[in-house]
Structure 1
Amino acid sequence: MPEDARHLPPEPDAPPGELLGTGRTADVFALPDGRVLRRYRTGADARGEAELMAHLAGHGYPVPAAWPGERPTDLLMERLDGPTLAQAVTTGTLAPDAAGRLLADLLRRLHAVPPRTAARPGDRLLHLDLHPENVLLTARGPVVIDWATATEGDPGLDGATSALVLAQALLGMPPEYAGAAPAILVPLLRGLPPLGPHHLAAARTRRAADPVLDAADHERLDAALALVRACAAEAAASEAAAG
């Protein structure tokens, strides 16, 4: 080997396939066998995610089929076709209130799945990032993706986090979408058990500590929390009027 070659940096890994998308923490590649590979750039271990998804699938919850990859940072999944729930709403193929009800149904179904450890009474499986971008509308129905933040805990935190993430996203969109936020948030919150102040406070704290949030996300955080509180009050009032 030439002397100079010993000091060259190692060649980067060849991509495993066509790059389909890049998120804040991972890249997704198409594989020749028809599956996709999600590879974490952060060094996160994806093996627990694969085990959790297998547990959920075993209890009938709609997740992609998943397998551990060759590397700890890799997660293999079946490739699914269909728009995200966010795309369906923005293109007008699904009404905002229907999207809110669908998110609430997916959260309720998740919290009905038996937890794997249940360290404390009442603990349930939590997604902690279940929003319209993480729901694919496939031929077999809605499928929930991106389980990197999943854990077990108080289901109220899951609902509060979903609402807060959604409110932040809506407030960052053009006025015609931001103004329609209650149309999706109120049905979402009406479809869940009532959220206590501690749920919203915990969701805000958790969201503020998220290292992938940018400056704009942080600027919208308090406004998003106020929006969720207002929509929760509206949901409670409509529920009382109906009952």
Structure 2
Amino acid sequence: MGTGNTAKVISRGGGKVAKVFHAHIGSDFIEYEFTIYKEIAKTPLQVPKLYSFEKEKYALIFERIDGNSLMAKMKSNPLFMPIHMRRMAEWHADIHQCRDLLLPLLNDRLASRISQCSDLTEREKEKILFHLDGLPDHERVLCHGDFHPDNVLMTKKGHVIIDWADASAGNRLSDTARSVLLIKYGGLTSSPVQRMFRRLLAGYYVRCCRRIGPFDMSELQKWILPVAAARLSESIGEREKEALLKLIHARINE
């Protein structure tokens, strides 16, 4: 049904799928993801049911979700894109209403990824980590960690939010900043029209989020630097990397 960097998803029948991890993925990583999903299952959010962890097969067994992604719906009829973005902002706010889950701390995850980034100098990483250390860390709501239109499936029964492996507890504005950067730069191409459109779309998403849960733009902007730097540690395209590095260097030198 699909293959990613860490696993492939295959149909199991009986309304189930197996997320089978590749041989190079350690059992500790799978156990960690299993623990994350068990915490997410405690929330009232629309998420796939987790049935079991088959250790001998390196597989997590989930409920099968049939539907198209929110991204596919947006592409099929761009005129409805503003409506879909408003709904996405509402669902993001629902995520941030969840608290008191046993999850990794978001700031710790950001710091770890920034430290591992090979595209930044040690001095640049020190500056970014110092900046991160000064950001508020007391809110600790549920943060998805990778919330974008491809991680929302539209089914006959409504929306289902998938891919919770990067979930953590932290400041909601960090999670919002991550989504804004993904909308603006994720999978970026060289098309100037696309760049302009995505910049406008990211701005619209921020406005939608502020209507639902008001916040000061300056507070959101403080999270852009560390979130962008952490993104660099992932496997991303060259266009996106160039854009993020340009953004990071501009922020560091302000």
Q: Under TM normalisation by the shorter chain, which class is it? A: 0.7 to 0.9
What pairs up with 1:175-214 in 2 under 5 angstroms? 177-192=194-209, 193=215, 194=217, 195-210=219-234, 212-214=235-237
Q: Which residue of 1 aligns with 2:121?
A: none
- In structure 2, do the counterparts of structure 1 residues 81 and 57 end up closer, same or farther at CA, with 3 Å as the change threshold? same
The aligned amino acid for 1:221 is L
Aligned counterpart in structure 2 of residue 43 of structure 1, from 14, 17, 25 = 25
Structure 1 residue 153 displacement after superposition? 1.4
**Does 1:89 find its partner at 2:74?**
yes
Q: Which residue of 2 aligns with 1:5?
A: none
What pairs up with 1:65-84 in 2 under 5 angstroms? 65-71=49-55, 73-84=58-69
Please say which of residues 99-108 and 39-48 is displaced more in the overlay.
39-48
Q: Which residue of 2 aligns with 1:22?
A: 3
The aligned amino acid for 2:95 is L
User: CA deviation digits over 1:167-219, x for unaligned, max 9?
Assistant: 11363285654443245323321132344332111111111122x22333312
Whose radius of gyration is greater, 1 or 2?
A: 1
Please say which of residues 214-223 and 137-146 is displaced more in the overlay.
214-223
Q: Secondary structure, in 3 states, of the residue corresponding to 1:81?
A: coil
Q: Is the 8 A contact 1:164 1:225 kept in 2?
A: no
The aligned amino acid for 1:21 is G
Q: Distance in 2 between matches of 1:200 and 1:65?
A: 32
Q: Distance in 2 between matches of 1:101 and 1:62?
A: 17
Q: Is the 8 A contact 1:37 1:75 kept in 2?
A: yes
**Normalised TM-score (structure 1):** 0.73
**Does 1:160 find its partner at 2:177?**
yes
What percent identity do the matched residue pairs reach? 24
Q: Which residue of 2 aligns with 1:234?
A: none
Structure 1 residue 225 displacement after superposition? 7.8
User: CA deviation digits over 1:105-129, x for unaligned, max 9?
Assistant: 1221111012314876311111111
Q: Distance in 2 between matches of 1:108 and 1:180?
A: 24
Q: Distance in 1 between matches of 2:79 and 2:69?
A: 11
Q: Secondary structure, in 3 states, of the residue corresponding to 1:128?
A: coil
Aligned counterpart in structure 1 of residue 150 of structure 2, from 130, 133, 140 = 133
Structure 1 residue 149 displacement after superposition? 1.2
Q: Secondary structure, in 3 states, of the residue corresponding to 1:160?
A: helix
Q: Is the 8 A contact 2:34 2:53 kept in 1?
A: no
Q: Distance in 2 between matches of 1:117 and 1:93?
A: 39
Q: Secondary structure, in 3 states, of the residue corresponding to 1:196?
A: helix
Q: Distance in 2 between matches of 1:214 and 1:111?
A: 29
Q: Is the 8 A contact 1:114 1:124 kept in 2?
A: yes
Q: Is the 8 A contact 2:141 2:172 kept in 1?
A: yes
- In structure 2, do the counterparts of structure 1 residues 31 and 75 end up closer, same or farther at CA, with 3 Å as the change threshold? same
Structure 2 spans left out of the alignment, 5+ residues: 106-136, 210-214, 250-254
- In structure 2, do the counterparts of structure 1 residues 224 and 21 end up closer, same or farther at CA, with 3 Å as the change threshold? farther
Q: Which residue of 2 aligns with 1:236?
A: none
Q: Distance in 2 between matches of 1:141 and 1:182?
A: 28
- In structure 2, do the counterparts of structure 1 residues 139 and 94 end up closer, same or farther at CA, with 3 Å as the change threshold? farther
- In structure 2, do the counterparts of structure 1 residues 179 and 197 end up closer, same or farther at CA, with 3 Å as the change threshold? closer
Aligned counterpart in structure 2 of residue 58 of structure 1, from 32, 37, 42 = 42
- In structure 2, do the counterparts of structure 1 residues 179 and 26 end up closer, same or farther at CA, with 3 Å as the change threshold? same
Q: Which residue of 1 aligns with 2:85?
A: 100
Q: Which residue of 1 aligns with 2:97?
A: 112
Structure 1 spans left out of the alignment, 5+ residues: 1-19, 227-243
